[in-house]
Structure 1
Amino acid sequence: MPPKEDLLRKMIPGTSLWSKLRRWFLGIRIASRKHPYTQYFLKSTQAIDYEINQHFKFYPNMIHPFSTFRIFWESAMTLFIIMTLIVTPVFLTFYFDEPEKWYLFNLAIDSVFICDIVIWFFTGYYDYRTQLIILNPKIVASKYLRGAFVINVLPVLPLEFFFVLFKSMWYLAALNLLKILWMQTVIKYSRGLYYVYEINFHLYKIAEISVIIIVCVQWAACLEYYLPLAVAKMVGQNDASWILSSYMEKKKTKFAIYLSCVSRAVIALTTSTHYLDVRTPEDIIYNMILSILGLLGFIYMLTQLSQLMATIQSTRKRHLRLIEELEQYMNYKELSYSLRRRLLSYYDYRNKKGFERNKIIINHVSPYLQKKLLLHNYSRLLNDVDLFKNLPEIVMAQFIGAVHSQIFMSNDVLVKAGARGDALYFIAYGTMVVYNSAEKEICHLEDGAYFGELALLMEDERWIASVIAAENCEVHILSRVDFQNALMSYPNLLTYLQNVMLERLEQTPLLEKIRESDSLMTMTGNVNISSIKIKKKD
């Protein structure tokens, strides 16, 4: 595939400053190769290239959910929403009768939120059900309208304008209280950024809990003062209200009043005894609600902290145990520095891909569920390999448990020219390079490529080319012994499959490629690697 810059120039030609800015803006809207979600969901270079091409071809005006733009926007919006959630209740409460002093500022905040809403209509999403990235604008808009649109748009309706013109419509400003609903957006964005920036899990959880506590206390404190003011507007002033007490009359500044409100809210949330009387109906009901919420919040925080501490201990122990075992092994074997680094990188990659977790789950479920999980995990292998299309399901169910996955790091040799073939190799994720015996590069093998069909059927097969990993790869492997054990009850089927494979052998393009590039090689027909399914290099 041509480099990304060439695609950008093809979409937006020209050398002017405006053309360069448009190319830059388009470049940050496509899938970022460095985005963790891109690497996790798209897996390989081939899949990423395909995704970028599809984006350019069909939806150039859309924003990819794994783009650089989304990283920047979600980072900025996370900080902006937290700031908004802190200042909004202050404006509503302490400038209750002075909307003109904060109206323009609030309008600027709403404008940013409206920009976020508009951007959501142009941002694709990953569909976990179909495992596809959806960029179709109609589908994207439909999903957003049926989802968080109403919750997001209600707090930003510019109804304060009427409040500024007509004091009698003061209650319209109360719609700003709905901005607390944007807290869910903060949590959603922050959890995505946790993976993007690879933040330490424990630091992230501490920060998340801290932000939730600060925002909740802030809103509880401001509502302590806002609620009596709102009730006074509706039914008249109650002299028994705590905001008219002699204690509060001594508070001459808004900051002093604010501190009293914080103190009162914390007392209610912790179900402590108030030093100011709670006598009015609205005050009694509100502080009762705060006490209940405070108790539930305390239980939630205690649970979160307990889980966090348990995770810290288990993660630390598991990590230290693994590192200790690796260090002991590497010291005992007196491995070189480069080999030590490679071994540590291998275990880090294996841990991120969840190989051990997958094995534990499969080994602990019932046989029926185990079979279903294996068929799902290796569905691409079963559907893509031509040989398996001739097999009944009962046969595939017998050998699927013998398929295993291996990780090959960059420059690892998968097979070597001249070695005897004894297995089928299916590249699940990653890119492999094929070299002939003269060490000349022939082609690249990417996601879905496979070779070794003949090795499953014939024992005298030898590789006529070497296959080496170009990047970290995951490969599904099925040995000849396991495959033929599954066919023992079907001897006629084995003979039939051998005849089918031999008929297809001469039609394989890679075989011709190798012959052209290495005239000295003796072709005997035992060319297992000739059955590779490839995407030729341009």
Structure 2
Amino acid sequence: QSRYYPPGDSVLPPGFELKRSKVKYFLLKFLLISPTNHRTLHYLRGTKHINKQKAEHLASGHWYIAHPFSKFRTCWEIIMAVTFFAAFMVYPYNFGFGEGMEMIHFDHRLGSRRLILDIIRALFGIFLLDIFANFITGIYVNNTKTFIMEPKIIAKRYLMGFFWIDLFSSIPINDILLYGIAQDISPEVVVLAQSVTLLKILRLKTFLRYLRQIIQMLQVEDAMIEEVLIAFVLLIIFIQWMGIAQYVVARALGYDHFKCYCFSGAVLRTYIIVVIMDLFIKYTRAQYDYLAMLDHLQSFMSHKKLPPALQANILMKFEYSYQKRYFREDRVLSTLPAILRMEIKDFICRPLIEGINFLICLPEDSKYDIIVQLKREIFLPKYVIIRAGARGDYMYIIRNGTAKVISRIGKEIRKLCDGDFFGEIALVAEDSKRTATIIAEDICEVYRLDRRDFEVNVLSNPTAFELVKNVVAERLRETMIEEEKHLMEE
């Protein structure tokens, strides 16, 4: 029965229509690129690019070629990940404990060996299907960010790659030996023939790629957990192969088992140590970079013979900025699009301006402009941020830290902490002079707003202007009262 599938269907790209059987429509759902595939979301940005890829796939005429980011390929890679793991566990067992023709000519007492042979037959069948699947699956070229969907090119690349390894390691050796060869074949020939299946270990990298994709599909966001899971799977495979190897070596060369146990145990310990060290180095790289940069900084200060107090301040600033994890903030941010960089700054700075009455009343576009123009600065303890009597061209908002306000006569008026602001008086006063000195008591992280941006966004807004005038008047009155109290006490 035919059915008409109009343009704009969720499966078909815009401009394409399908008037065929339900079977083809069902197949296309699994063969075309899937918008929900995690690799699609990573490599293709937006519905436009996905529909373009679908259109190119259908226009090529090779609709039967499975897209590498299709639902079919996702399901098949999950199946193959399980199959590869089973092969890595069973194939060495078959090779090491097959005992030549004894493994082939089992009797009713060898139930476990019968099970192994049945599993091997199933694995051979799946691997032969995988060879066929590789011939009808497109290829994503990471270097050029393109897809290869031409059957001839796909076949050529596969034939020049893993095809022969896949073919020879997928030949059902046990059944061939059992049904197609004379019964008096030597055990050595059987073992040699069975060793061909061990070529499948060359596909370990492919297995790990499938395993990573499964972990990503499960939305495991912690990279450390991902690496630990992969290391654990590799450890299981390694133990299996080393266990078989120690038996095979002992049988072939006459080593006693104790020596083999010692050797394989030493290799296993070495592997575990290497894996742990690799994970440790990978996830403490930022700390290592921090220590290396700290060493360079100390060498520089020593070479320049800077005074101890200045060295202490430099080290304090360095430690506060990087928190024992060195990174290039500018380089990290440069990898992000402008809209994400702005979202990060908005997340940091919006709570600051929303705590100030003459800024929160501004329209959204003015708030946005202020957030964009805010500049981050860090002041160390005892540093003078602004000095009384100096010209003021900035106001500051404290994000972290504590500072004290000192009047012109040296009297401490108040303390400022997270969310407080200062310096606005000079931006409103006619003489633009600072009326107090602000000194950092501990490390202060502040955001600076320039005079020009203050005038454009605050002073030009009548409501904000009235509010800031009230704040200035209240602070001047408070300063005057404190100074008068101090003079009376003297």
- In structure 1, the residue matched to 2:193 is 172
CA distance in structure 1 between the aligned counterparts of 2:55 and 2:86, rounded to whole angstroms:
38
Whole-Å separation in 2 of the counterparts to 1:183 and 1:66: 21
The letter of the residue matching 1:177 is L
Structural RMSD (CA): 3.8
Aligned-residue offset at 1:77: 1.3
Per-residue displacement from partner, 1:272-301 (whole Å, max 9, x unpaired)? xxxxxxxxxxxxxxxxxxx4xx47524531
Give the drift of 1:204: 1.4
- Contact 1:163/1:173 (<8 A) preserved: no
Amino acid at match of 2:331: I
Q: CA deviation at 1:22?
A: 3.8
1:303 corresponds in structure 2 to 277
Aligned match for 1:4, one of 7, 10, 23: 10
Letter in 1 for 2:339: Q
Indicate conservation of the 8 Å contact 2:250/2:260, yes or no.
no
Between stretches 137-146 and 56-65, larger displacement belongs to 137-146
Partner of 2:137: 123
- TM-score computed with the length of structure 2 as normaliser: 0.50
SS in 2 for 1:304: helix
Equivalences for residues 459-538 of structure 1 within 5 A: none
Partners of 2:91 and 2:26 lie apart in 1 by: 35
Q: CA deviation at 1:113?
A: 1.0
1:125–1:135 Cα contact (<8 Å) kept: yes
Q: Distance in 2 between matches of 1:80 and 1:312?
A: 38
Structure 1 residues 223 and 111: alpha-carbon distance in aligned structure 2, compared to 1, 3 A threshold: same
DSSP 3-state at the match of 1:4: coil
Do the aligned partners of 1:217 and 1:266 also contact (CA within 8 Å) in 2? no
Partner of 2:264: 269
Of 23, 26, 35 in structure 1, the residue corresponding to residue 25 of structure 2 is 23
Q: CA deviation at 1:2?
A: 1.4
TM superposition shift of 1:156? 1.2
Alignment partner, residue 104 of structure 2: 99
Distance, in Å, in 1 between the alignment partners of 2:69 and 2:130 is: 16
Question: For 1:11-50, what aligned pairs fall within 5 Å after superposition?
Answer: 11=18, 13-14=20-21, 19=22, 21-50=23-52
- The yes-or-no answer on 1:148 pairing with 2:170 is no
Equivalent pairs, count: 282
Task: Provide structure 2 residue ranges, at least 5 long, that are not aligned to the other structure.
Answer: 1-6, 106-113, 289-326, 344-490
Residues 304-342 of structure 1: per-residue CA shift (max 9 Å, x gap): 23135527999xxxxxxxxxxxxxxxxxxxxxxxxxxxx
Partners of 1:22 and 1:51 lie apart in 2 by: 18
Residue 214 of structure 1 aligns with which residue? 236
Partner SS for 2:338: strand
Structure 2 match to 1:80 = 83
- State the distance in 1 between where 2:166 and 2:328 align: 38
Distance in 2 (CA, whole Å) between partners of 1:221 and 1:80 is 21
Question: Shift of residue 104 of structure 1?
Answer: 4.6
Corresponding residue number in structure 2 for 1:186:
207
Partners of 2:339 and 2:136 in 1: CA distance: 39
Q: TM-score normalized by structure 1?
A: 0.46
Q: Report the AA paired with residue 280 of structure 2.
A: S
Amino acid at match of 1:99: I
Matched residue type, 1:145: L
Unmatched runs of 5 consecutive residues or more in structure 1? 232-237, 244-262, 272-290, 315-355, 364-372, 378-403, 410-538
Residue 107 of structure 1 deviates from its aligned partner by: 2.5
**1:375-390 alignment runs, 5 A limit:** none
Give CA deviations for 1:147-171 in whole Å, capped at 9, x if unaligned: 2223322311233344323432312
Q: Which residue number corresponds to residue 245 of structure 2? A: 223
Asked if the contact 1:99–1:163 (Cα under 8 Å) also holds between the matched residues in 2, the reply is: yes
Alpha-carbon shift at residue 357 of structure 1 (Å): 8.0
Provide Cα deviations, 1:82-132, integer angstroms capped at 9, x if missing partner.
Answer: 122112222333332222445454222111012112211111122223221
Letter in 2 for 1:98: M
Aligned pairs (5 A) from 1:348-359:
359=330
The 5 Å alignment of 1:232-247 reads 242=256
* Equivalent residues of 2:12, 2:54 under 8 A apart: no
Contact preservation (8 Å) 1:124, 1:134: yes
Aligned mates of 1:105, 1:77 — CA distance in 2: 14
- Paired residue for 2:358? none
Structure number with the bigger relative contact order (C-alpha 8 A, sep ≥ 6) is 1
The 1:44–1:88 alpha-carbon spacing in structure 2 relative to 1, beyond 3 Å, is: same
Match in the other structure for 1:406: 339
| Contact 1:12–1:22 under 8 Å retained in 2 | no
> Matches of 1:71 and 1:266 in 2, distance apart?
41
Counterpart contact for 1:270–1:295, Cα < 8 Å: yes
Separation (CA, whole Å) in 2 of partners of 1:79 and 1:160: 22
- Distance across 1 between alignment mates of 2:261 and 2:18: 58
1:213 deviates by 0.9
2:173 is the alignment partner of 1:159: yes
Look up the match of 1:449: none
Amino acid at match of 2:195: A
Question: Separation in 1 of the partners of 2:141 and 2:206?
Answer: 19
Cα distance in 2, alignment partners of residues 46 and 6 from structure 1: 13
The AA in structure 1 aligned to 2:144 is: T
